[in-house]
Chains A and B, each alone.
Chain A
Amino acid sequence: MLWIDCPTCGRRPVDEYAFGGELRGVPDTITDPTSRDVDYAWMYDNVDGLTSERWFHAAGCRRWLTLDRDTATDSVVQAGRLT
């Protein structure tokens, strides 16, 4: 099972967290209000390897954190940081 280091609460099991998706850039629809960003709305990188993600500590401090995780092994590479 995945254990995530919460910057506030310490090392807690994954069941306490809600997965918030890949960490992504600014959508085109903000920089260009006329565009329709299908890619931002629907598509994922779905990386097989190192990826940065957002997680929400739902059953803990209820704050968002950023996690670097290796999806090939499902292991945390860098502990959560509040951003």
Chain B
Amino acid sequence: MSDFIERRIALSWAEPKRTYDVVIIGGGGHGLATAYYLAARHGITDVVVLEAGYIGAGNSGRNTTIIRANYGIPEAVRFYQHSLELYQGLEDELDCSIMHTRKGLIWLAHTEPQLRAERARSLLNVACGAETVMITPEETKQLCPQLDLTGGGRYPVLGASYHPAAATARHDRVVWAYAQGAMRRGVHVVQHRKVTGLLRDGARITGVDTTAGPINARVVLSAVGGNVSTVAAQAGVRLPIRSHPLQAFVTNFYTEAFQPIVSDTELLCYVSQTERGQMLIGAEFDRQPSYSLRSSFSFLQSTCAKVTQLLPFLGDLRILRQWTGICDISADFSPIMGATGVDGFLVTTGWGTWGFKAIPAGGEGMAELIATGRSPALLEPFGLDRFARDDTMADPGSTGTH
């Protein structure tokens, strides 16, 4: 902890030029990570990241910071496992504390079909390089003593899959660390500069229009969260994305240690403890697409009803804060990274409720794509063209929750 407090992050802001090699729209984790890897791995430093608010103001600062790789299809498991490993080495790579903490993820099953699904998922995970094991109710209780194995008499725990490498990290630190790494190498990051349109030359995108004048570029990457459909529409690109609000909340300080992340795909909710000792609780996204950041009482009501059955101690705590982010949910619940069919315009989007854990691998992959013109093998299955090919990446491991 003292390391975290003492080693300050030094950010140096720049006035944007008129022309860049690469313009990245969106100063969240994905945009800044892409900028960092462009500079660090490929020597491309003529890059600007344009952020409408402050860096990390969007979903990078609103997510529940869970890093895991126990997904449901091989392509996703490999991608997220690579990201999880990059996270493990990120403090050394960026020379900056991100408060990375290995916690382990318990994924509860209350029914026989769910238990079978978890078993299938654990076998798939192991086959693709991610460690997931099945555990009994007793072992689950050892990992999480607070858990009521009868689930309040309504949701008995029949077993669980356990993903020991799952971790959390401080999300703001991740954003700032990537920003610092990129800035040190000469990348420009500009805050409070909203992109209002895209510049075209015939069929090609040649830059962006901003609230303070146009900026030309060879490549424009949209790393926007929330308003990506609006940005893409300006390039004439339609996306298989709906933007749904996702809510979460924290309680006041819980005096005991709560080590693991407890997640439940049947009840669609999950619980972990923050570094400050607060209990962080999340659930599924709102059913109707919306860009409204308003939180709802009905969300608190339904989520509390579920999590207090599993973890009765939560009923004694008080809710401190509740907030909302706008998630770009793709039609197959997998991200969309790469070319759009329009020259000079790339996207990294569809990050739904699973974007934070993918920041290192997504940024690294997009940087390689921009530098070499080819999608790396890990990203290749996630291109936008998969929808036209009927080769979608429907992922039962990402639906609904984090």
Chain A residues close to B by CB (< 8 Å) = 1-2, 13-15, 18-19, 38-39, 41-48, 53, 69, 71-74
User: Is B288 on the interface with A (CB-CB < 8 A)?
Assistant: yes
Q: A18–B288 Cα gap in the complex (Å)?
A: 9
Q: Is the CB of A44 within 8 A of B240?
A: yes
**Which one, B158-166, B195-203, B294-302, is touching chain A?**
B294-302
Out of B239, B245, B296, B388, name the residue touching A46 (CB < 8 Å). Answer: B239
Contact status A44-B298, CB under 8 Å: no
Q: Contacts of A19 on B, CB cut-off 8 Å?
A: 287-289
For the complex, what is the distance from the CA of A78 to the CA of B336, rounded to whole Å?
A: 34
Q: Which residues of B contact A74 (CB under 8 A)?
A: 245, 288, 290-292, 294
Kindly list chain B residues whose C-beta atoms are within 8 Å of the C-beta of A72: 291-292
Q: Any chain A CB within 8 A of the CB of B402? A: no
B241 within 8 A of A: yes
A63 to B159, CA, bound (A): 40
Within 8 Å CB of B242, what residues of A?
44, 46
Among A43, A48, A53, contact of B227 (Cβ-Cβ < 8 Å):
A48
Q: Of A1, A18, A53, A73, which contacts B298 at CB under 8 A?
A: A1
Q: Count how many pairs of residues, one from A and one from B, have CB atoms less than 8 Å apart in the complex.
A: 60
B297 touches A39 (CB 8 A): no
Which residues on A sit within 8 Å (CB–CB) of B116?
Answer: none
B230:A48 contact, CB within 8 angstroms:
yes
Interface contact B387-A42, CB-CB below 8 Å: yes
Q: Which residues of A contact B297 (CB under 8 A)?
A: 1
* B311 interface hit (Cβ, 8 Å): no
Chain B residues bordering chain A, tally (CB within 8 A): 23
B289 touches A71 (CB 8 A): yes
Q: Are B388 and A38 in contact (CB under 8 A)?
A: yes
User: Which 10 A-B residue pairings sit nearest by Cβ, starting from the closest?
Assistant: A46-B229, A74-B292, A43-B238, A74-B290, A42-B240, A42-B387, A1-B298, A38-B388, A1-B296, A71-B290
Give every chain A residue within 8 A of B239 (Cβ-Cβ).
43-44, 46
B229→A48 contact, CB < 8 A: yes
Pick 19 A–B contacts, CB within 8 A, sort by A. A2-B288, A15-B298, A18-B287, A41-B387, A43-B239, A43-B240, A44-B229, A44-B238, A44-B239, A44-B240, A44-B241, A46-B241, A46-B243, A69-B288, A71-B291, A71-B292, A74-B245, A74-B292, A74-B294
On chain B, the residues within 8 Å of A47 by CB distance are 229
CB-CB under 8 A from A1, the residues of chain B are 296-298
Smallest CB gap from A47: residue in B:
B229
Contact B241 A14 (CB under 8 A): no
Task: Please give the distance in Å from B217's CB to the nearest CB on chain A.
Answer: 24
B9 within 8 A of A: no
Does B57 count as interface, using CB distance less than 8 angstroms? no
B229: which of A13, A38, A45 is its contact (CB, 8 Å)? Answer: A45
